[in-house]
Amino acid sequence: MANLITFTDENFQDEVLKAKEPVLVDFWAAWCGPCKMITPVVEELAGDFAGKAKIGKLNVDEYGKTAQEYGVMSIPTLIIFKDGKEQNRIVGFRPKGELSKAIEQAL
């Protein structure tokens, strides 16, 4: 999906912490079943919130430094950042409505 951003250790500062809008980061891994289940939901949210919030994914196997900095122990973990600070953390698969509501609260 065009609106979905790939976050990395290298771009996390600029794309997430310095973002003007709220940012949802999906911490995931390719081998994680629940991560695969939530991917289409995250992709839909990226389209739904285009222009209002940034939404993307960070692969914990490839970019473990950032995942470690934020204490991500279980995946999927979705963290909403606003003004460079963690505002909300959701661990495990959740329905789209619950995630939408969390993003709305950050807007």
The whole-angstrom separation of Cα 27 and Cα 56 is: 9
Active-site entry in 4, 23, 25, 35: 35
Active-site entry in 32, 50, 90, 91: 32
The whole-angstrom separation of Cα 5 and Cα 21 is: 14
Candidates 105, 5, 90, 11; CA nearest to 56 is: 5
Classified as helix, coil or strand, 74 is: coil
H or E element that contains 23: strand 23-28
Q: Is 83 a catalytic residue?
A: no
Q: Is 92 a catalytic residue?
A: no
Q: Which active-site residues does the annotation give?
A: 32, 35
